[in-house]
A and B are shown apart, each in its own frame.
Chain A
Amino acid sequence: MTRPLYGLLAEFRSPGDLVRAAHEVHAGGYTKVDAYTPYPMEEVIEALHLGHSHVPKLVLAGGVAGLAGGWGLQYWTSVIDYPMNIGGRAFNAWPAFVVPAFETTVLFAALAAVLGMMALNGLPQPYHPVFNVPGFATASRDRFFLCIEAADPKFDREATGQFLRGLGAEVTEAEE
């Protein structure tokens, strides 16, 4: 029994070829598309119109939570739950609270950045169909891939394959 088709994987030898192909694929109306590159390429992200990342919103939320949590912890412990007169300093010594609150803000914002990035990317993800393609290991070395998923409304096994080969790629079928 053959496994269902995930998509067509096109392999390019240079970053320039991939960027050109990405523009063509977007112009061709394909939407369920992804590229695989050995390093981050802004040009490809722009060419495929992947839009802006949502990480900054999560970081803002994390930072606000860290600030509120850090400040709240200090206020509650020092003023409400356990007020201690130390050297006559005010219980609500807000200038002193700035430092730990700043640190918790940074801590929560950084955790939000990393965990948010992982969540948005769906990591950890031990299995993905593109790994079934024998040459895909070079995507983390020196090859550039572009994948059009079978789920794309415009996808047609023959026509899409022809289209990708026309862009100068070696095309392989990726199975689920």
Chain B
Amino acid sequence: MASAPHTEPRIIGPGHTFATVTDKIASLVLQKKTPLGWFVGFAVAFGLLQLLLVSVALLLARGVGIWGLNIPVGWAFAIINFVWWIGIGHAGTLISAILLLLRQQWRTSINRFAEAMTLFAVACAGLFPIIHMGRPWVGAYWLLPYPNTMGIWPNFRSPLIWDVFAVSTYATVSALFWFVGLIPDLATLRDRATNKFVKILYGMGAMGWRGSARHWNNYEMAYLILAGLSTPLVVSVHTVVSFDFAVANLPGWHATIFPPYFVAGAIYAGFAMVLTLAIPLRKFYGLEDFITDKHLENMGKVLLATSLIVVYGYTMEAFMAWYSGSTFERFMIWNRMFGSYGWTYWVLLFCNLLTPQLMWFKRFRTRAGWLFAVAMVVNVGMWLERFVIVVTSLHRDFLPSSWGMYSPTFWDWATFLGTIGLFLTLFFLFIRFLPAISIFEMRTIVPEARLEEERT
């Protein structure tokens, strides 16, 4: 429970007590009037969600032919968007689990909404492989081991099945972790709600939590173990996602660097998304005392570190292509840089190699506006990275006779934008109805929580 000395930049604004952190965070949920800005943002997000509904309905009616994918580029947007979303989710788990185990106290005020981000991003990600089947109700027996009338089982030697297990486990464990963290806060909302209906609703979620020391004893152990389980899990998820590519024999995919490179890319993309959400959240809800400049600066540093790992991945891909001596590998990297889609590679390098270098400078790391701009560039860059990996590798394989080009259709873009709508809709509902910052964990970092013997 030892807090940082006062000379260090604070992770919580001065003058806060148990009561003030409780009241401030609970008031975001229990306030009488919803701010107008929330309605505006929600309306935009909800509009995009309708676009998703239309896109998916049309897809189910007409089939995947409404998208631009075709042999040789059979994966295209569906997998690009899947990997992009699932990667974004990783920062939430990193913040809630790995930084907890590393005793990084600054994680406390950002873990709750980062975990929510994880859940919503995984929901968006999971949608793509499912709708990519075109007729998902027919495809279930390929993916899930359930006793069916045909008497057949999935092929467990395929990375695509590993992916189903990894992603569904990840979604379940993230939801459990998030819900366990919410229980004491739901009890706080139950105790503070004045409306009887609201009180009953939060009371059902809190399940009768009363803050008993005996309960906390089991609770803390369960929370710690969940963090310990989530840590290898999160590393496994993007590793398995990278196996979808690396196990195939295609030049541009078949590389041993993929697992660590994908995991670092996921954390990098995820922290960019956390910044994208945290900066407007703290501004519009006046949470500067809880999500301080220190938090933003730390996230900027993580962004820089992970970008360097990702760039190491790019470098190794190019080096190994040359060092392998394989004609196909050499052609792959040349085609990636100077082929038909060459511009995407250079934009990608601008986004993921050059832009994050601003994070070396404290001036940029501590200004919310700059960080937000960098985060948006990184969001685009990480999407392009997956575009480059998926499309440029597939469209030029071994035989020139099977070469082709890919261009997305309106419905490709509509589906992608639609999932952004789904993500934002869920996030807007989350900040309106659930505490966006963990209240009980914030109580542990206020000065009052230090016992006398530790205070001096």
Instruction: Give the contacts of A43-68 with B (CB-CB under 8 A).
Output: 43-45, 48, 50-51, 53-56, 59
For residue A19, CB closer than 8 A to chain B, the reply is yes
How many A-B Cβ pairs are below 8 Å? 194
Interface stretch (choices A97-105, A155-163, A165-173): A97-105
Known: A37-B216, A39-B444, A107-B173. A56 touches B225 (CB 8 A): yes
Alpha-carbon distance between A131 and B292 when the two chains are bound, in angstroms: 36
**Inter-subunit contact B214/A121 (CB<8 Å):** yes
**Inter-subunit contact B218/A96 (CB<8 Å):** no
Alpha-carbon distance between A130 and B151 when the two chains are bound, in angstroms: 55
A residues near B17, Cβ cutoff 8 Å: 142
Q: How far is the CB of B243 from chain A (nearest CB, A)?
A: 8
Interface size on B, residues (CB 8 A): 64
**Inter-subunit contact A78/B157 (CB<8 Å):** yes
For residue A123, CB closer than 8 A to chain B, the reply is yes
Q: Which residue of B lies closest to A44 (CB)?
A: B213
**Inter-subunit contact A78/B216 (CB<8 Å):** no
Contact string, B260-293, partner A, CB cutoff 8 A, digits 1/0? Answer: 0000000000000000000000000000000000
**Inter-subunit contact A38/B222 (CB<8 Å):** no
B residues near A107, Cβ cutoff 8 Å: 169, 172-173
Interface size on A, residues (CB 8 A): 68
**Complex partner residue of A110 from B162, B172, B188, B220, CB under 8 angstroms:** B172
**Complex partner residue of B212 from A34, A97, A102, A111, CB under 8 angstroms:** A34
**Complex partner residue of B221 from A77, A99, A117, CB under 8 angstroms:** A117
For residue A148, CB closer than 8 A to chain B, the reply is no
Q: Top 9 closest A-B pairs, CB basis? A: A142-B18, A124-B207, A117-B222, A77-B153, A125-B208, A137-B191, A53-B221, A35-B213, A103-B165
A interface vs B, CB < 8 Å?
Answer: 14-16, 19, 34-45, 48, 50-51, 53-56, 59, 73-74, 77-78, 81-82, 84, 86, 89, 93, 96-97, 99-100, 102-104, 106-107, 109-111, 113-114, 116-118, 120-121, 123-128, 130-131, 136-142
- 8 A-B pairs with CB atoms under 8 Å apart are A39-B444, A45-B213, A48-B213, A55-B218, A111-B172, A113-B176, A125-B208, A126-B203
